[in-house]
Structure 1
Amino acid sequence: MHLRFRVFAEQVLIASNIFILFLLLFESKLVIPAWLQTIGRMHPLILHFPIVILLLAMLLEFFRFQPEYSTNTFYKNFLQGLLLIGSLFAAVTVIMGIFLSQEDGYEGPTLTWHKWTGAGIFFIASIIYWIRNTGWYKAPVAKVSAFITVVGLVMTGHYGAALTHGSDFIWEPVSIEKEMAAVPLDQAVVYTNVIKPIFDQKCTSCHNPDKLKGELILSDPASIMKGGKSGKLLVPGNPQISLLLQRAHLPMDDKKHMPPSGKSQLTLQEISLLTLWVKRNADFKKKVTDFPEKDSLRILAAAYLLPAEQQEEYDFPAVDEAEIAKLNTDYRTILPLARESPALAVNIYNSASYSSKQLDELSEIKKQVIALNLNKMPVKDADIKSITQFENLHKLDLNFTDVTAAGLKELSTLKHLQNLTLSGTKLGLEDFKGLLPNLKSLKTVAVWDTKLSAADVEQLQKASKNLDIIGGFKDDGKSPLRLNPPQVKNSSTIFAQSLALNIKHPIKGVDIRYTMDGTEPDSISSPLLDDKTVITKNETIKAKAYKKGWYGSEMATFEFFKSAYVPDSSNLLAPLNRVHQAEGAKTFFDKKLGVIGANNPAWANNWAGVRDNDMVFVSEFKKPITISSLGVHYMIEEATSIFPPDLVEIWGGSSPDNMKLLTKFKAPLPKKGDTPSLKTVEGKFSPQTVTWIKVVAKPNGKIPDWHSNKGKKALLLIDEMFLN
């Protein structure tokens, strides 16, 4: 090494020791500007240089005093230069690491150990460089020094890897595989044995007590429910507005996409499991078998837990996951049937958007599709040809479709079809007699709610002894199923004067019981809903479905709102939020209610919003009307700082210049931890005859102190007003 360069490098080494010591002593007071953060983020890029150089230098140092090397001038000078370069690279790496550690998300004992072992290596390497030519520096000291430095390098690398990938990164795949394989299905807990392993594999390397990216920890239930810097991670029962799923569905090139680009991504099966878990209220204690046998979460979780060696083997290759992702749409999902299996299950939703084209588009994966769900789709006989392209189909669901026996005969070409569901179709006894003998591989067929009587089912079963015909569910107390909740079929839940309730259930013969007093309906004393049930005012209807031989459904709650008057024209007097424009002033009387999750662009169109100014509009009626109340329908979503109106003023009169204040009222503030909800607040006043009204809704100007955005302005979102 050139003498002048070596002297300069030695001076830089001395300065580096002083500078790093200063940084370590005054680290808590450091404020790192953005340009230095960029330099700090180069820490992972350069750290491999000092590791390699110092390892090589320590190896040479360990054998330095061997007779064949001790008098070798080249060996001595090369080692001296190598140690100097390694120490300087170590200095740069330590400085970058200190800068990087000042960013949010880096803290905890693992970081402390990584930082001090890394700095210790640099100081030891510097000391070795300065003392190695003294008279007392002999072979034992050299060997001990080299050994300590190598151990330090290993420890620093270990703690660095723990920060980046998690503390059990190396053994994690083996431990998770053992954990999933070891637990019997009847003992498996959904969170512990399914959801937590997903977090451990894909998330906790960045979100743990030692590496708090976004101030979020995903290693324990309490921290998961607490959320992070961006708010609540999940909303139990509502995956659409849960940050966990929103970030997972962002485009890969979006900087907020999680896991970030370059990290191992969530598979479609894992995303579906997380979605269903959140939809089932993100329960941390429920077992897999606590859910009904036909529940989607139970089916997927069971497949996820099934050891690979117990899965059915197929003679076709797996499809690339990127290809599957391209074929997934809002109304069609494609998922692996089980972990590490090439077999795929296809589910198609939304009857309004269905066409056989959705099946034809899957020609590239036709060999891999072994399960197809077309329940409640308007499937015709002409679509059967598209279905028969899936030559390896094992399971086909055609419940409540429009197929006939003539079209179903085409299924005889499917040599592997084992399970067929035809419940809710219009097939009768003669249809099944002609159909079933042609489906040679069939093992089960579901025929409940068809034209078959109990005697017909028994007759078919006797004629097909190798076929299990599921003809309904007898009230034997052994295996009844739970009914789905009833559904509201009214075109709108907002009405002018009166409304005949149209609440239905897809299964024939179901009784719907309801209440209007807030109590839960029962199967005996609660009134029976029929076509003559009419409401004439705001009502909250609680309804449950009942049928003999079935468990009663979960309770469904429907809100109906009376709005007697619609203005002939409305105009805004103040601008709306840029994102939440909806239909301007027309939004408030268009009989379209919004849903929770308005910060998602797909759902923002029904909400009018303001933050920095009042929401103000005037409406005109061509003929005078007499009013006595106005209700405001708004959203509460604590995580995104959406709060109720702080104050609502109602003005009315005969002209825009001749209006008086009719009433003003407030909406109650939510409490910390309240779940997102839709609420209505109403202002009442003595009857007034008006041709013009003005509404002023003021957003909350100071978010409460318990909120993470305390003191800031809240967002106010309103989708409808009810004028009576």
Structure 2
Amino acid sequence: MLFMTSRKIIKLAEQLLFATAVFTLVLLAFTDKVVVPVWLQAVGRMHPLLLHFPLVLLLLAMGLEIFRFKPANLTNEFYQGFLNSLWLTGALSAGITVVMGLFLSREEGYTGSALQWHKWSGAAVFFLSALLYWARNRAWYTATVARTSAVVGACLLVASGHLGATVTHGNNFVWEPVAKLAKPEPVPLEQAVVFDHVIQPIFEQKCVSCHNAEKLKGELRLTDAESVRRGGKSGKLFVAGKPEMSLLLKRIHLPEEEKKHMPPKGKSQLTDNEIALLSLWVKGNADFNKKVVDLPPSDTLRRIAAALFKPAEQVDEYDFAAADEETVQKLSNNYRTILPLAKDSPALAVYFFNQKQYAPEKLKELSDIRQQVVSLNLNKMPVSDADLKSVSQFENLRKLDVNFTNITGAGLKTLAGLKHLTELALSGTRITSSDLQEPIRTLPSLKMVALWQTGVKPADIQQLQKAYKHITFIGGFRGDEAEPIKLNPPQVKNSSTIFSQPLAMQLGHPIKGVQIRYTTDGTEPDSLKSPVFTGNTILTESASIKARAYKEGWYGSSAATFNFYKTTYKPDSVNLLLPLNRVHQADGAKTFFDGKLGVLNANSPAWANNWAGVRNNDLAFVSEFKQPISVKSVALRTMVESETGIFPPTIIEIWGGASREQMKLITTFKPAQPQKVYPPELNAYGTTFKPQTISYLKIVAKPVEQLPEWHNNKGKRGFLLVDEVFIN
């Protein structure tokens, strides 16, 4: 009876093995067309958990197969039965593992040649083991065939396992510890390039294991400058000059528990210094060619990077010992960074960078390292005169940056004991010429004072420069005053640029005395003919405003573009007719009328991600108005990022009627499509038509069916992303 039951189990397992082989062949043949439902994704993610089981069983079976034809083993029923069961169980579990792996490979983030080799080698292991199981009792299956097949199978199994490790842990995972032993010496600071020697090493250590040519997670490769520029499936990695809008920094700053946090939980995380370097690099326009020494001596990125290299210049000799490393580490946190001034130097530089968490006590906390602090950056912190008393404790301080703080001349008097102070940055404060007399007299080592945008007038600076020739006074200019500073662009001050009633446009600038000129016709504003913004401009219709800032003694700013959108009607309810893309759900149908505008980053955190998107179907939804409205125009605000396949809709259909069942086509329009790769932009595509009285409005926007021939992904469907709809 027991024998009969065993035979039934074996027979059932053999049938299941055959079915798995057929199913696997189908999956392999139609992998690109397979859409894995959500409930099956969980099954696919069991692939890494199960794969070790068939690996062990098949290796054991292949090892025993080599000795199967020995006379003693040929007559050993237990040996033969056990080996047969190993083959069947190993082959069946290998097949199930392959199916799970194929499901898993359909999820986003699994691309690259390593994945393809792993997929096909894994499938080959399964089919070979299944074939050997069925062929083992054939007459042609001799000892030579058995041994050869076992050796080939074992090699194939090891190769597939290695490729799986590459997909999971990255290329060179096995030899990485050995490679680190041969790590070259850091280049001298004067030869170091910011990207090559500061930024790229961070990617190499923390990111490349998942983003390389072999494991192209998210279609993103971080192995070279060109790939970093290109970005990945989710778009550009960064917006030059705007770390707050850059996908790279947003993913890094997500909570570690978040799925999209990078590096993933369980991987080696970025240090505070590495995060600061990436942020500063992006903020500095993400230059790929600039050397570290090309940055100003006071630049924060240069100061942090200096600790990574041999010094390019003569480093001061200090007569104090280095601070305790544990103490320095303890004092560094999410609002204050403490770094060695240079490699092997005991001197420390302190940077405060979070206004909300700053308090006078934070300066007093540094008393344990007061001898080692030679550079202190309090730029834009809410520092008062009382705080400068705490600053005076740093007896070896060389550089002090209190730009744009609340200090006055009275506070400067407390710095008299800083006999080593050489640089004092006072820009953006209320300091006057008379306030400087005592500090100049009591600070014997002073060599540079920054005074632009203060109460010190240009004539006063000239007099100071004549009287104190050993000190350089900087006022409104940089360096030797040969080149004025370029103003920042103006800023829009309205809490929202979406309005339903006439709106008073509000523009501003952080620097006092700046004149803002603007245009509304798309032309570039100039300093002579364009209207001057006075605060009296009232907007009654949607408008695109271009504005520039001007001030005597400064270069005019770059033009800033501000789009204002009028929307008269907000529906009482909205229903999607077709599903949104899994990644770009936003707030569902409510997204289109919530008054929140998305940014040039379709994968930013939830608080900024307001993009609803489609790719595999149309974007279609119906809006209901309980009271009939008279509508004459509709516009959809979309993102266009041609390089990554985010295109405008090919056609937009507007339907309306008194009931959901009686809607008629009101109009259609076709937005112009990109003809080449353009910089990313945000556009509102709309049209006007004869006024229609309706209670229901249906909008259908169709994504690009096939990307054009010039595109890297030609022939594939384009993405369509919409964040807001304006009905007037």
**Residue 173 (structure 1) aligns with:** 184
TM-score normalised according to structure 1 size: 0.64
Which amino acid letter does the alignment assign opposite residue 696 of structure 1? Answer: I
Cα offset for 1:685?
0.8
Q: Which moved more, 1:287-296 or 1:403-412?
A: 287-296
Q: Distance in 2 between matches of 1:598 and 1:205?
A: 24
Q: Distance in 1 between matches of 2:687 and 2:68?
A: 71
**Residue 97 (structure 2) aligns with:** 33
| Other structure's SS at 2:175 match | helix
**Residue 560 (structure 1) aligns with:** 563
In the TM superposition, what are the counterparts of 1:281-680 in structure 2 within 5 Å?
282-288=286-292, 297=301, 304-307=308-311, 310-312=314-316, 315-317=321-323, 319=325, 323=329, 327-328=333-334, 337-338=341-342, 343-349=348-354, 353=356, 355-356=358-359, 359=362, 363=366, 367=370, 370-384=374-388, 393-412=397-416, 417-433=421-437, 436-437=440-441, 442-461=446-465, 467-473=471-477, 478-496=482-500, 498-533=502-537, 535-553=539-557, 555-567=558-570, 569-572=572-575, 587-604=591-608, 606-608=610-612, 614-620=619-625, 626-636=630-640, 644-645=648-649, 647-652=651-656, 660-668=664-672, 675-680=679-684
In the TM superposition, what are the counterparts of 1:218-297 in structure 2 within 5 Å?
218-225=222-229, 234-235=237-238, 237=240, 239=243, 244-245=248-249, 248-249=252-253, 266-280=270-284, 282-288=286-292, 297=301
Say if 2:102 is the partner of 1:99.
no
Q: Is the 8 A contact 1:420 1:445 kept in 2?
A: yes
Cα offset for 1:171?
2.9
Which amino acid letter does the alignment assign opposite residue 99 of structure 1? Answer: S
Q: Which moved more, 1:233-242 or 1:396-405?
A: 233-242
Q: Which runs of 5+ in 1 are unaligned?
A: 1-7, 20-29, 41-89, 112-159
Cα offset for 1:680?
1.3
Q: Distance in 1 between matches of 2:263 and 2:572?
A: 48
When residues 303 and 621 of structure 1 are mapped into structure 2, their CA distance, relative to the original with a 3 A threshold, is farther
**Residue 145 (structure 1) aligns with:** none
Q: Is the 8 A contact 1:105 1:212 kept in 2?
A: no
Cα offset for 1:530?
3.7
Q: Which moved more, 1:358-367 or 1:537-546?
A: 358-367
Q: How many pairs are equivalent?
A: 592
Q: Is the 8 A contact 1:324 1:334 kept in 2?
A: no
What does the per-residue CA deviation read over 1:628-650, in whole Å, with 9 as the maximum and x for residues that have no partner?
21211123457987654565443
Q: Distance in 2 between matches of 1:95 and 1:634?
A: 49
Q: Is the 8 A contact 1:702 1:710 kept in 2?
A: no
Aligned with 1:696 (options 687, 699, 706): 699
Q: Distance in 2 between matches of 1:10 and 1:700?
A: 52
Say if 2:195 is the partner of 1:184.
no
Q: Distance in 2 between matches of 1:354 and 1:363?
A: 15
**Residue 77 (structure 2) aligns with:** none
In the TM superposition, what are the counterparts of 1:702-721 in structure 2 within 5 Å?
704=707, 716-721=720-725
Cα offset for 1:681?
0.7
Which amino acid letter does the alignment assign opposite residue 317 of structure 1? Answer: A
**Residue 80 (structure 1) aligns with:** none
Q: Distance in 2 between matches of 1:500 and 1:244?
A: 36
Q: Distance in 1 between matches of 2:324 and 2:624?
A: 61
Q: Distance in 1 between matches of 2:621 and 2:224?
A: 46
**Please, what is the CA RMSD of the aligned residues?**
5.3
Q: Is the 8 A contact 2:589 2:621 kept in 1?
A: no
Q: Is the 8 A contact 1:395 1:420 kept in 2?
A: yes
TM-score normalised according to structure 2 size: 0.64
Q: Is the 8 A contact 2:576 2:589 kept in 1?
A: no
| Other structure's SS at 1:307 match | coil
**Residue 75 (structure 1) aligns with:** none
Q: Distance in 2 between matches of 1:101 and 1:503?
A: 59
What does the per-residue CA deviation read over 1:73-99, in whole Å, with 9 as the maximum and x for residues that have no partner?
xxxxxxxxxxxxxxxxx9999666323
Q: Is the 8 A contact 1:542 1:557 kept in 2?
A: yes
Q: Is the 8 A contact 1:304 1:338 kept in 2?
A: yes
Which amino acid letter does the alignment assign opposite residue 351 of structure 2? Answer: V
When residues 364 and 97 of structure 1 are mapped into structure 2, their CA distance, relative to the original with a 3 A threshold, is farther
Say if 2:671 is the partner of 1:685.
no
Q: Which moved more, 1:422-431 or 1:193-202?
A: 193-202
When residues 580 and 306 of structure 1 are mapped into structure 2, their CA distance, relative to the original with a 3 A threshold, is same
Q: Which moved more, 1:477-486 or 1:376-385?
A: 376-385
Which amino acid letter does the alignment assign opposite residue 498 of structure 2? Answer: I
When residues 300 and 669 of structure 1 are mapped into structure 2, their CA distance, relative to the original with a 3 A threshold, is farther
What does the per-residue CA deviation read over 1:567-600, in whole Å, with 9 as the maximum and x for residues that have no partner?
3744446687787676666654454322133423
Q: Which runs of 5+ in 2 are unaligned?
A: 1-59, 70-82, 84-93, 102-113, 115-150
Cα offset for 1:104?
8.0
**Residue 80 (structure 2) aligns with:** none
Q: Distance in 1 between matches of 2:576 and 2:302?
A: 53
Cα offset for 1:346?
1.5
Which amino acid letter does the alignment assign opposite residue 625 of structure 2? Answer: E
Cα offset for 1:466?
5.3
